[in-house]
């Protein structure tokens, strides 16, 4: 039986690579995809989501939900890496919806449609998930599982010295979800940082004669240049892809149950994930944390699935 999932994303170049893998996977039933403000503001991620889904034209269209900005404006701006539109200027025409469904309603409806069968894969800030819990508190226990991309256990953050981008962008939402009674797995920077996409990997991607190949080769080269200029890296991190595959392939990961909380105050530690690892911990263990992944299998799977999708959708 296909796994029922809801994807909560902030497209985003790497999210644009997750979407074809999910939408054309026969073992995955994507009930809904919701956009959240992150790499670019919420109105732009909503447009990007619709544009990518229209471009891919999957055999089964999921419900789309559009997120509103967080209650407090995010102090972070990463458009120098992802471009003004979040897709490095890739031209994707779209007939924008006049009436957009709120992301939190779409999430609640999807979970309610199949209680205890639907997993959420949250790849951006947790604004939409927190609002869904406020809208319908019962989905806390009706959701089968939630996989969360965010946080850091041992290593530094990627947006500040203490915090990763997703939790820093909306720390109050992150704390609400982490403290909820949902069955949760955290995929932190400690493991997603170990997988990078290099220019050499592009040769293994779909040919530019295919529609998907042309999309990837329009988005990725500017991203490589931006990463080199901004971070001095000869490759790009693919956090979202790693987290997505970790959610679908538990055999490729190792987890540890930990006690976690999120700093919501302003200042140096905004969005920091804090773990109680004292000899006699005082906090209740509340989340599975991925501590190891099978990097080669994940990269191999990304290349395999993207090539399979390219064949399906053709030129």
Residues labelled as active-site residues: 239
Neighbours of 259 (CB within 10 A): 17
- Output DSSP code: residue 251: G
Cβ 2 vs Cβ 29: under 8 Å? yes
Map residue 305 onto helix, strand or coil.
helix
Contacts of 289 (CB under 8 A, 6+ apart): 153, 185, 186, 188, 255, 256, 257, 258, 260, 275
**Residue 7's closest CA among 16, 253, 41?**
16
Instruction: List, as one string, the DSSP characters of 164-220.
Output: -HHHHHSHHHHHHHHHSSS-EEEE-HHHHTT-EE-GGGGGGSPPTTSHHHHHHHHHH
Q: Tokens 């447009």 belong to which residue?
A: 47
- What is the spatial distance between Cα 139 and Cα 41, in angstroms, rounded to a whole number? 27
3-state secondary structure of 100: coil
| Cα–Cα distance for residue pair 220/202, rounded to 1 Å | 9
The rounded distance, in Å, linking the Cα atoms of 170 and 270 is 9
Q: In 38-182, which ranges are E strands?
A: 63-66, 118-122, 145-149
Helix 42-56, helix 13-23: angle, nearest 10: 40
């Amino acid at each position: 039986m296909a796994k029922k999932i809801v994807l909560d994303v902030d497209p985003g170049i790497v999210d644009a690579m997750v979407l074809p893998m999910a939408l054309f996977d026969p073992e995955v039933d994507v009930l809904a995809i919701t956009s959240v403000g992150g790499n670019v503001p919420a109105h732009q991620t909503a447009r990007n989501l619709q544009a990518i889904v229209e471009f891919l034209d999957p055999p089964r269209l999921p419900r789309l939900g559009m997120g509103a900005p967080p209650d407090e404006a995010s102090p972070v701006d990463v458009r120098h890496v992802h471009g003004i539109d979040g897709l490095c200027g890739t031209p994707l025409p779209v007939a924008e919806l006049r009436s957009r469904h709120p992301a939190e309603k779409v999430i609640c409806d999807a979970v309610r449609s199949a209680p205890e069968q639907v997993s959420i894969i949250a790849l951006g800030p947790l604004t939409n998930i927190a609002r869904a819990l406020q809208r319908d508190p019962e989905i806390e226990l009706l959701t089968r599982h939630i996989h969360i991309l965010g946080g850091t256990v041992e290593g530094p953050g990627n947006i500040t010295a203490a915090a990763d981008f997703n939790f820093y962008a909306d720390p109050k939402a992150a704390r609400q979800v982490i403290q909820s009674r949902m069955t949760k797995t955290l995929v932190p920077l400690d493991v997603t940082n170990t997988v990078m996409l290099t220019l050499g990997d592009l040769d293994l991607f779909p040919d530019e004669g295919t529609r998907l190949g042309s999309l990837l080769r329009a988005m990725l080269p500017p991203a490589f240049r931006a990463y080199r200029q901004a971070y001095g890296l000869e490759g790009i991190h693919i956090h979202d892809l790693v987290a997505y595959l970790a959610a679908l392939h538990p055999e490729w990961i190792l987890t540890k149950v930990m006690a976690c909380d999120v700093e919501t105050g302003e200042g140096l530690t905004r969005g920091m994930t804090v773990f109680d690892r004292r000899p006699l911990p005082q906090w209740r263990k509340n989340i599975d944390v991925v501590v190891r992944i099978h990097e080669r299998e994940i990269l191999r799977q990304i290349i395999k699935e993207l090539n399979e999708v390219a064949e399906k959708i053709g030129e």
